[in-house]
Amino acid sequence: MSRFLESCKCIEAPMCLHKEGFFYLLNETVREFHPNLKNVHCPKEVLKKEKAESLHVSIDKSNHRLRMYGSLEELSENITIYKNFPGNSQYFGLSGEPYQTNPIIYKSLKNDEKYIVKPDLFVIFQNMITLLPGGNLMEIILRVVPFLKRRHASVQKTTEFVKFDEKRIEEIYKKMDEKFNKIVLPEEEQYLSATLLDYFLAAPPDVMIANYRAACVLSILETIIDDNPDMFLPRGRDSEEPVTLRVFEDGDQQFLMKSEISDALKAKLTLNKRLDTISLEEVLKNFDTKNIEFIRYPILRAKHRATPIPISTQETPNEFCILAIDSFFEFFKELTLGSKYFQKANINVHDVFTVLSNVFELDCSTLYFLRCDEERFSSFISSSRNDSAKNIRNAKSDGFTLQNLKNELAHLGLTTTFPEIQDYAETVYVEVDKRKKEKVLRTCDLFDAVEHCQLNCVLERLPELKRFVHNQKGCHRVYGLKCEDCAAETRETQENQKLSILEKELADLKIAHQKILEENQQKSLEIQELQQKNLRLSVKNETNEVKMKQLTDKLANSKLSIDEGNYSTACTSQLKIQCLICEKSIESEKDQIIRCPLCKRRFHSKCAIDWLKEHQQCPACNGDLPKF
């Protein structure tokens, strides 16, 4: 992996909660850290306008206000997951700050080829600067960052990817390093420059040198960007590179954003205010995707919040969204653990349904996104704050039991609002125990258990919400939830799987049967050929037997007059040789003959040639005759 994918940590203060960290926390927790925001409906919108350095808070001084987030390491890890997305500086109001994200490598759906979103290339530029020789690199970065983010904005208007070519990235750094080395001042010139600057300008020499080197770096970056427009500029209309589209992956779900398909494929789709999705299967079936490169884009979630996803539509570029189901769960976390709404006396659970029905399209059967908007629920949550509500107590050092959980639900007053809440305690307790990070259940696990017990109660009381959670594929995220629709789908899935197995077995049997039929057919053909060959041999044998009998009879009937010891000259002179083929005598002086090399029998040449047209053996001894 490239060395430029790890961002520098030199500007982070250890053990401090930075600005982006506050966006991960509940609104009520943020108010506790910043009392001046106590009466503000949406504190995080105010935080965006605050300077980052004014929001660093030591975690050691949190006064146990972060108990629900686990250990310091867990909180830090979750914040890192949450804040690491392209364009986060805009989302968190950190436009003047150096990049704090790590570039993310994505893979092509087709062949796992590496891709990177174009805005992350500017983060790589920043990482390259930290590896350049010489000092004052942080000073240079602070001066270069505004330029990087300005150029960054030009490619953030569209969500585009480019192939991540490590060799090409290294070549860019090599070019930057070579040019940068040429501008480093020798020691004598540094001394002279420092003296002259101090004398004439009365300004710190290091600052002036940093300014000069930063200006040189800017010039180098401008040249690199101009030399590589395919990487650092928006895709041109005449570009031969394929259009890149994100395929969002959440568990076994693969889907695309309709608005992105509409822009990329010039497709006429019905677009609503919500960000609708369409399954990958449907896209491949209904659209021409020859010049499309699908990029796998996993939905990322920290424990308490989903990572925002940058979006750019024709109407409103440079926005962020999360799945509707993530927004739903974040709302309930604010409601149950933040404002402690259900710990109030005489509340009406249906008021929650009224609020949600105004925000979510509860009858939507497909996944969809919602734009990140902290003000969406802020008014209701702010008005539902229960300052007099009891806090969740700490778990013991050896953990907590099921009975401890039931006691805590009663202690918090939740049995008043939900008399049935303790009925869900056991299944929730089992699920929390499965997911615990340490050997024993801790206070953060107790927070989870209390939250999910309340969530089970609300969903069982409001079937419309339960159906919404099911349609948005969120049932498995509610500890202990018994969803009849999921159970029915599971049974149907199991039956379909069994049917698929049977169909596959049947198909395999058909293939095997067809193979056997083909083998039998081949064997039948071979048998027929053998039978025909055998018939031809039988006919030939019969013919040969007839000829042999004829020859035998002729030999038996032939008479030679031979006296014992004396040969009759007259008889010998009259003895003539017969051709066995034409059965006529051979005139030795007149006829041309052929002799069998084995039995020495002689035949008329013409007869032998005609014989060899249909036979290969001698008619007398069945030996091979020479061919003429």
Is 550 strand, coil or helix? helix
- Are residues 164 and 105 in contact, defined by beta-carbon separation less than 8 angstroms? yes
- Report residue 576 as tokens: 């003539």
Which residue type sits at 531?
Answer: Q
Lowest mean pLDDT among 305-319, 394-408, 504-518: 305-319
pLDDT recorded at residue 562: 41
Domain assignment present for residue 595? The answer is yes
Tell which wins on pLDDT, 374 or 424. 424
Residues 473 and 586 in one domain: no
Look up the CATH number of the domain holding residue 624.
Answer: 3.30.40.10
Q: Are 408 and 456 in contact (CB under 8 A)?
A: no
**Residue 85 included in any domain:** yes
pLDDT at 607 over 90: no
Please give the pLDDT value at position 13.
45
List, edge to edge, every strand of the sheet that includes 161-163.
161-163, 114-117, 105-108, 292-298, 243-250, 253-257, 275-279, 368-371, 319-323, 309-311
Band (20; pLDDT cuts 50, 70, 90) = confident
pLDDT at 124 over 60: yes
What pLDDT, on the 0 to 100 scale, is given for residue 573? Answer: 44
State residue 452's pLDDT score: 98
Gap between the Cα atoms of 84 and 76, Å rounded: 12
Q: What is the mean pLDDT of residues 336-361?
A: 90
pTM: 0.73
The whole domain housing 32 covers 3-156+161-232
Spatial distance between the Cα atoms of 360 and 355, rounded to a whole number of angstroms: 9
Collect all residues with Cβ–Cβ distance below 8 Å to 287 and sequence separation of at least 6.
261, 265, 267
Per-residue model confidence (pLDDT) at position 43:
64
Q: How many domains does the chain have?
A: 3
Do residues 62 and 202 both lie within one domain?
yes
Distance CA 452, CA 432 (A): 9
- pLDDT score of 593: 80
Give the CB-side neighbour count of residue 238, counting CA atoms within 13 A.
1
pLDDT value at position 397? 94
Contacts of 144 (CB under 8 A, 6+ apart): 125, 126, 129, 214, 217, 218, 221
CA distances from 326 to 121, 159, 298, 546 (A): 29, 22, 14, 100
Residues 176 and 31 reside in one and the same domain: yes
Residue 227 has what pLDDT?
92
Q: Does residue 566 lie within any of the structural domains?
A: no
Quick: pLDDT tens for 168-179: 999 999 999 888
Q: Tell me: do 24 and 148 sit in the same domain.
A: yes
Question: Could you tell me which residues come within 8 angstroms of residue 456 by beta carbon, excluding any fewer than 6 positions away?
Answer: 421, 424, 428, 478, 479, 480, 481
Q: Amino acid letter at 590?
A: K
What are the residues whose beta carbons fall under 8 Å from the beta carbon of 175, sequence distance 6 or more?
220, 224
Q: Is the pLDDT of residue 472 over 90?
A: yes
**Confidence check: pLDDT of 6 > 60:** yes
Least confidently predicted of 87-96, 262-271, 297-306: 262-271
251: which 2 tokens? 């568990």
Residue from 71, 503, 107, 535 nearest 297 by CA = 107
Domain end call among 209, 232, 255: 232
Which of 165-174, 191-200, 226-235, 331-340 is the least confident region?
A: 191-200
Question: HEC states along 98-124?
Answer: CCCCCCCEEEECCCCCEEEECHHHHHH
Provide the pLDDT for residue 316: 65
| From 270-274, 301-305, 332-336, 376-380, the region with the lowest mean pLDDT | 270-274
Between 223 and 189, residue with greater pLDDT: 223
With pLDDT > 90 as the criterion, what percentage of the chain qualifies? Answer: 37
User: Whole-angstrom Cα distance, residue 317 to residue 231?
Assistant: 20
Q: Indicate if the pLDDT at residue 221 is higher than 70.
A: yes
467 lies in the same domain as 601? no
**The last residue of a domain, from among 482, 512, 530:** 482
Instruction: With a cut of 70, say whether residue 495 has pLDDT above it.
Output: no
Q: Which of 227-231, 351-355, 583-587 has the lowest mean pLDDT?
A: 583-587
- How far from 599 is each of 240, 602, 608, 617, 619, CA to CA, in Å? 86, 9, 15, 12, 10
Residue at a domain's end among 482, 500, 524: 482
Give the distance from CA 412 to its chain's centroid.
44
Residue 492 lies in a domain: no
Residue 537 lies in a domain: no
Copy the structure tokens of residue 78: 């979750």
Handedness of CA 130, 135, 141, 144 (dihedral sign): negative
Locate all alpha helices (DSSP H) within 184-297, ordered by sequence: 187-200, 205-227, 229-232, 258-265, 280-286
- The pLDDT value recorded for residue 568 is 44
Q: What would the mean pLDDT of 120-131 be, rounded to a whole number?
A: 90
Highest mean pLDDT among 72-81, 310-319, 368-377, 602-611: 72-81
* 195 & 53 share domain: yes
How far is it, in rounded angstroms, from Cα 471 to Cα 604?
A: 100
Residue 535 inside a domain? The answer is: no
Mean pLDDT of the chain: 82
What pLDDT does 597 receive? 79
Q: Which of 333-342, 470-479, 535-544 has the lowest mean pLDDT?
A: 535-544
The reported pLDDT for the residue numbered 44 is 64
Residue with tokens 């609104």: 27
Confidence check: pLDDT of 566 > 50? no
pLDDT-derived band at 556 (thresholds 50, 70, 90) equals: confident
Q: Is residue 556 part of a domain?
A: no
Q: Residue 475: inside a domain, yes or no?
A: yes
Name 585's bridge partners.
578
As a whole number of angstroms, the distance between CA 40 and CA 54 comes to 18
Place of tokens 């509500």: 389
